[in-house]
Structure 1
Amino acid sequence: MAVAEPPRADLNPETGEFETPLKRVIGPGMLLVFVVGDVLGAGIYALVGVVAGETGGAIWTAFLFATILAIMTAFSYAELVTKYPAAGGAATYVDTAFKVPLLTFVIAFAVMCSGIASAATLSKAFAGDYLSEFVELPVVLVAIGFLLIVALINFRGISESIKLNMVLTGIEVLGLVIIVVIGVAALANGDGDAGRNLDFPAGENVALAIVGGAALSFYALIGFEDAVNVAEETKDPARNFPKALFGGLLIAGVIYLLVTFTASMVVPTQQLTDSDGPLLEVVREGPLGVPTKLFAGIALLAVANGALINMIMASRLVYGMSVRGVVPRIFDRVHSGRHTPIAAIIFTTGLAMLLASLGDLSDLAGTTTTLLLFVFAIVNVAVLVLRPDPGAHPHFQAPSVIPVASVVIIVFLLIRRASDNPEYFAYAGALVALGIVLWAVQRVASSR
């Protein structure tokens, strides 16, 4: 199969880097922090109890499996971003490999929809037990109101949004540190029951329980793929990107294992499963006496941060596709005063509100990971399709067995999910179908 040459910046023979108008300011340390910050997020605050419903007390096994799968997929991203450091994102790699406009669009739209579904997931988490620590309100109404506030912040401007994101990221990491410290204190005091970490649901196949939990816990590990978008601003990307991707995922994975081990040890499994704010239960039952209202406030800010990041990404993707004439031009409208993509923000917020009204926490998290698992499967195939292109400079190369194994595992996860949770596919399919309709409308309008 012939491989089309992707757009490239000029290669500087002295530095071995592609020339770019952007300033290369991101060193290896900063890049590692960037990846860790992208991966560590609000998902862990919401999903521990949902995963416990699949795995029983052995929650850590699902997160371990999901971390391994994320690292395997990171091999493909590491090869692609070091081979084509002037390109960024799954849609670009898929377009370079296959040159099928509809497939490229579906991948881009699926990534956008995953952000919308993720924000809807977090809106339900925000409206649940964490908020109930302060006030009891109808969950759906709070979720819709929450998404409206996120939209207003998004509309206010990207500068304000990023500054707020930096502050909230530090707060959400603090919350996870508190949980880990509670776990250390519980072990030191002999509190809780560490044996629960080996308890699987009675009468269920252990391997299938882990796979079911991993398909959901994968939600907490997404984000590493966004790092490829700063390739042109990274010093020596061919050397630094693989280390940052793998190192960031390992750091996040270890933190998640510590958090899930603590949660299962300190809190009975059924109590975790029944809660929309599972880490709040850890604080409540733990030995340190951390005020529950303080931790609930931290969790609410963490969840808000995750939703804001997702909605910024989703609205900019819709705007970008509209500017390029891929979806109807109405979505390229920019507010004259705030200079933000107002039509795209309204569209993505409306979709997120609709999902939050229709789905529960598990459905929405499952929809998010279903979309991204599909994207990752295609990216893993793309890296193999692009192998005949040697690239213009030395780059990282993943052992061929890893992307092949990744595709096999992802397809297996998707088949299991289609069998056990067809509602996830229903939501994901409906979102992608909407995108194809918009694409077709724009094609017809352009032809006229």
Structure 2
Amino acid sequence: MGPALLLLFIVGDILGTGIYALTGQVAKHVGGIAWLPFLVAFGVALMTAFSYLELVTKYPKAAGAALYTHRAFGIHFLTFLVAFAVMCSGITSASTASRAFAAYFSTSFELGLQGSGITLIGLLFMALIAIVNFRGVGESVKLNVVLTLVELTGLLIVILIGAWAISLGQGDVSRTLTFEPAGDRGMFWSVIAATTLAFFAMLGFEDSVNMAEEIKNPIRIFPKVLLTALLVTAVFYVLVSISSVALVPPAELAEGDTPLLKVVSAGAPGFPLGIFGLITMFAVANSALINMLMASRLVYGMSREGVLPPLLGRVHRGRRTPYVAIAFTSLLAFGLITFVWAVPALGGTTALLLLGVFTIVNVAVLVLRKDTVAHQHFRTPTALAVLGAVSCAFLSGPWTGRDPVQYEIAAVLLGIGVVLWCVTAMVMRSNPRKLSGGGRSRSRQSGPVN
């Protein structure tokens, strides 16, 4: 993978559901300065990205946060929790995308679906993602490239419509400098509450470290490309949020889960909303596809390492895909889509899980300074790693105004992982051959997982 393809991969991984579904919710907290939380989220993500850059160029392997945690602390349970939290974040992110897809589907085709109707569309969409996932990585990656271009097109449409409408005197640009809190909280805490949602839109860059072994000369190429990708997405987000609040009042923008559809309608009434709705649906589909692909492979990997039941490591003989892991992660997503109706709750849970992981990664980069390697690598300033750890830990706390349901969702998901881990540990302790049984299954089903 060269620089251009890597840049496209990272940008496509970051762009998607967050900006398409949560722009209105961010504006709900702060009013017209909706662009500010996206900038703050970019700053926090950037500090953590610097830590990832040191670690991925120091250890150019595909295991990501779990590898860094294990090298730094050597605590198997902590390593498992980090890996499982990353997996859960993929499922909550994909579930967010599914509900956003359903909302845009209903609005674009004027179906007027509510409640159970939206849930049904979300479930059908997730089932389709599971089928594509089962088909294999080759089909998924090819589809990802197409969907990334669709994502960029959708956001460019919003930006261009905003610029065109503003140039004709439509909208109110002065709103972009207006602070309108939802409650009685001051500007600082309102921006922090909005940032906990906006941070969801900046996630995805951490997945790119898993591509380290697929990159040509990663030590030289990866830092430049990752930082460029973060900057590109931040510029897109700021421009989209400015266009949004200039054309649609923040209070109206916050109603429902289809904010950008309202922006297009306000700025270009003649623009075919059905086409933009399709673009949006493809964009959020990309987020769901990438995250479910990642989640199922992580479950498969943990099973093969003996920290989850061997059943989850089974591979389909024909497709070479981890079909049991795909079924397991899809069922968890079905549960979230069915019982958690609010898009902000799912998106916020994704951010919460990864903020915890990022806190550990920022600490790990400092702990691993004592571990020297033979080759040269990127080195992040110590102050950035410290600030990254503090800011991620701070944004994880209840003092930010985060909805308590996010902690409940995260606890349930991690609790499922802990139960599976304990069951696996007890089985392996009582019958060590169970693990070798997984190895025999692997030998019968020889060949790499797809």
> With structure 2 as the length reference, what TM-score do the two structures score?
0.91
Q: Which runs of 5+ in 1 are unaligned?
A: 1-25
- 1:27 matched to 2:2: yes
Contact 1:71 1:249 in 2 (8 A): yes
Q: Which residue of 2 aligns with 1:62?
A: 37
2:190 to 200, 206, 209: 209
Q: What does the per-residue CA deviation read over 1:300-352, in whole Å, with 9 as the maximum and x for residues that have no partner?
A: 11111211111111111111111111101111122223222111111111111
Task: Answer yes or no: is the 8 Å Cα contact 1:72–1:403 preserved in 2.
Answer: yes
Which deviates more from structure 2 when the two are superposed, residues 421-430 or residues 280-289? 280-289
Within the candidate set 192, 198, 203, 2:177 is matched to: 198
- The one-character-per-residue Cα deviations of 1:329-378 (angstroms, maximum 9, x if unpaired) are 11112222322211111111111111111221111011110000000000
Give the one of 13, 19, 28 matched to 1:53. Answer: 28
Q: What letter matches 1:270 in structure 2?
A: A
3-state SS, counterpart of residue 376 of structure 2: coil
**Distance of 2:269 and 2:69 partners within structure 1:** 49
Alpha-carbon shift at residue 35 of structure 1 (Å)? 2.2
Verify: 1:408 aligned to 2:390, yes or no.
yes
State the shift of 1:416 in Å.
3.6
Match of 2:377 among 363, 379, 395: 395
Report if aligned partners of 2:359, 2:388 keep a CA contact under 8 Å in 1.
yes
Could you tell me which amino acid in structure 1 is paired with residue 328 of structure 2?
F
Q: Aligned partners of 1:340, 1:396: CA distance in 2, in Å?
A: 35
| Cα deviation digits, residues 263-286 of structure 1 (max 9, x gap) | 111111111100211100011001
**Within 5 A, what are the aligned runs for 1:180-191?**
180-191=159-170
Structure 2 gap ranges (5+)? 431-450
Deviation at 1:165, TM superposition (A): 1.8
Provide the rounded CA distance (Å) in 2 between the counterparts of 1:27 and 1:353: 36
Query: Does the aligned pair in 2 maintain the 1:42–1:172 contact within 8 Å?
Result: no
Of residues 407, 429, 450 in structure 2, which corresponds to 1:447?
429
Instruction: Indicate the larger mover: 68-77 or 131-140.
Output: 131-140
Amino acid at match of 2:416: L
Query: What residue is the counterpart of 2:320 in the other structure?
Result: 339
Q: Tell whether the 8 Å contact from 2:8 to 2:148 is kept in structure 1 after alignment.
A: no
Choose which of 110, 118, 126 in structure 2 pairs with 1:147: 126
Alignment of 1:382 with 2:364, yes or no, is yes
Are 2:142 and 1:167 aligned? no
Match of 1:259 in 2: 240
8 Å contact 1:263–1:279 — kept in the other structure? yes
Tell me, yes or no, if the aligned pair for 2:89 and 2:354 is still in contact at 8 Å. yes
Letter in 2 for 1:343: V
SS of aligned partner of 2:417 = helix
Contact 1:88 1:231 in 2 (8 A): no
Counterpart of 1:15?
A: none
How big is each residue's C-alpha offset from its partner over 1:226-272, in whole Å with a ceiling of 9 and x where there is no partner? 11122223233222221111111011100110011101111111111
| CA distance in 2 between partners of 1:285 and 1:177 (Å) | 16
Asked if the contact 1:370/1:414 (under 8 Å) is kept, the reply is yes
1:399, distance to aligned residue in structure 2 (A): 0.8
Task: Confirm whether residue 231 of structure 1 aligns to residue 206 of structure 2.
Answer: no
SS at match of 1:386: helix
Q: How does 1:79-94 map to 2 (within 5 A)?
A: 79-86=54-61, 88-94=63-69
Give the conservation status (yes or no) of the 8 Å contact 2:17–2:100. no
Deviations 1:196-220 (A, max 9, x none): 1122224431111111111111111
Residue in 2 aligned with 1:110? 85
Aligned 1:114-153 pairs, distance under 5 A: 114-134=89-109, 135-137=111-113, 138-153=117-132
Letter in 1 for 2:248: V
**1:221 aligned residue (202, 205, 210):** 202
Give 1:430's aligned residue.
412
Work out the percentage of aligned pairs sharing the same amino acid.
Answer: 49
Matched, 1:303 2:279: no
Q: CA deviation at 1:288?
A: 6.8
Q: Which moved more, 1:383-392 or 1:364-373?
A: 383-392
User: Which amino acid is the alignment partner of residue 69 of structure 1?
Assistant: V
How far apart, in 2, do the equivalents of 1:39 and 1:419 lie?
A: 24
Q: Which moved more, 1:198-207 or 1:237-246?
A: 198-207
Aligned length: 423
Q: Distance in 1 between matches of 2:275 and 2:354?
A: 33
Contact kept? 1:140, 1:356, Cα under 8 Å: yes
CA contact (8 A) 1:171 1:298 kept: yes
Mapped to 2, the partners of 1:343 and 1:287 lie a distance apart of: 47
Map of 1:240 onto structure 2: 221
Q: What's the offset of the Cα at 1:418?
A: 7.0
State the distance in 1 between where 2:231 and 2:401 align: 31
User: Which has the higher mean CA deviation after the structures are superposed, 108-117 or 144-153?
Assistant: 144-153
Cα pair 1:76 1:383 within 8 Å, conserved: yes
What amino acid maps onto 1:397 in structure 2?
Answer: R
Which position in structure 2 is the counterpart of 1:23?
none
Letter in 1 for 2:26: V
Task: State the one-letter code of the partner of 1:38.
Answer: D
CA distance in 1, matches of 2:145, 2:8: 12
The corresponding residue for 1:294 is: 275
Contact 1:131–1:300 at 8 Å: present in 2 too?
no
Query: Which residue of 319, 339, 351 corresponds with 1:358?
Result: 339
For the 8 Å contact 2:8–2:145, the answer to whether it is kept is: no
